[in-house]
Amino acid sequence: MLGGFYFGQKWFDTQGHTTALTAAIVNFNLLTLVNYTISILATVWVLDLSLQLMKEYDVHALELLPDLPYVKAKPWWRVAVPVAFAVVAIVFAGYGYSYFAGLLVVNPQTLSHRGVDNGNGVQNTVQALTATHKQHPTYVEMDIQETSDHKFVVMHDPNLSTLAGKNQTVDRQKLAGLTDTTIHENGHQTKIDSFDHYLHSAQRMHQKLLVEIKLNAGQNRRELVNRFIKHYSDSLLAHHDIIHSLDYGVVEQLKTQKPALTVGYILPFNFIGVPQTKANFYTMEYTTLNDRFVDGAHREHKKVFAWTVNDSDSMDKMMNIDVDGIITDQLTTLKQQIKQQQGGRDYARQLLKYGTQVIDNNQ
């Protein structure tokens, strides 16, 4: 049945805009009506089955109910009923128009994962940051680690083997040696960037950052966070940058020592619901993220970012459960999906999405 609505709307979408939009609203209301009709029929069937069972087991409870007198319909009902139907029709038509015009969509914030958009540079480098900034993401998400001389470098992996071909751990190298190291990815090459250089470059571009603080084995969390706060907290606050970490001890210390910072807690899985933390927001791996977690976080006035969402269907799903931000390696694709959510001529696709949501909600 849903396929019939979809292919019918596909044909209407080839006609004029007014015809396509009108057909979309009509089909939207028909789908809604079918949904409610099925729900009502299911309820009636359950009640009928209950009555049959009561008769079968000789239950006489209904005989105890008093007979209700017949009440003749009053003349005003003849006006009230059509008016009520008209009001309901107008409400549904208005809701359908709002849906297809994109008025019901709250656009998520867009975040470039490791500063990259579709392999446009080496991850976590000013090279990629410069290219990605042209797409105007809300934030560029990037990773930092502390070096052996207590400086901060922009790098995700704890080892240089993948990007530099060297079996060396980042936290055992000095900053000068790291920033002189050439790294390769996506057909691009450049040098490793210090966090100072990356941060100043972003500030010159007026590009906000989401900074992930990584804590490697054997590092002193308290001292690392103290150094980070001392050198960067005021600058991050001034430029509206935010922070997150997979290590809750880092999150807690940041919020305790510098409460004004906006700090998130990274969660790889959604198994226990919304945790009780000092975090301002949660970054959740998207495959186990659902609307219950998002709603629970929102009730606590905390935002939810989904990561790493790289295909259009998953992007749509995350938008439909009202996440506040989407972290992706495919920023251009994400912005295209958001534009489609805002309303366009592909009404058939929007209708299919609505119908799928209705089916999912009834399961």
- pLDDT bin (cut points 50, 70, 90) of residue 79 is confident
Nearest CA among 239, 240, 243, 238 for reference residue 152: 243
Comparison of pLDDT for 56 and 159, the residue scoring more: 159
Total domains in the fold of the chain: 2
Q: Which of 28-32, 99-103, 223-227 is predicted with the least confidence, judged by mean pLDDT?
A: 99-103
Nearest to 150 by CA among 228, 207, 91: 228
Prediction pTM value: 0.75
Claim to verify: residue 169 and residue 195 sit in the same structural domain: yes
Q: Where are the beta strands (DSSP E) in the chain?
A: 109-112, 139-146, 152-154, 182-185, 188-191, 209-213, 242-245, 263-267, 281-285, 303-307, 325-328
Structural domain contains residue 359: no
349 is a domain residue: no
Residue 108 confidence class, pLDDT cut points 50, 70, 90: very high
Same domain, 47 and 179: no
| CA–CA distance, 254 with 229 (Å, rounded to integer) | 8
Q: Is the pLDDT of residue 62 over 60?
A: no
| 84 and 133 both lie in a single domain | no
Which tens digits make up the pLDDT trace of 148-201? 999 999 999 999 999 999 999 999 999 999 999 999 999 999 999 999 999 999
Q: For residues 359 and 186, what is the distance between their CA atoms, to the nearest angstrom? A: 41
Query: Based on the domain organization, do 86 and 129 belong to the same domain?
Result: no
- Amino acid 204: pLDDT: 98
Pair (132, 192) in one structural domain: yes
Residues 6+ apart with CB under 8 A from 358: 31, 32, 35
Residue 248: domain span: 109-341
Angle at which helices 221-238 and 195-205 cross, to 10°: 20
> Could you tell me what percent of the chain has a pLDDT over 90?
61
Say whether both 154 and 40 belong to one domain: no
pLDDT at 321 over 60: yes
Q: Does a structural domain hold residue 361?
A: no
Query: Per the domain annotation, does 351 fall within a domain?
Result: no
**Across the chain, what does the average pLDDT equal?**
88
**Domain-ending residue, one of 59, 80, 100:** 100
CATH number, domain with residue 184:
3.20.20.190
pLDDT score recorded for residue 124: 99
Cα 18 from Cα 8, distance rounded (Å): 16
> Is 296 a member of any domain?
yes
Q: Are 179 and 152 in contact (CB under 8 A)?
A: no
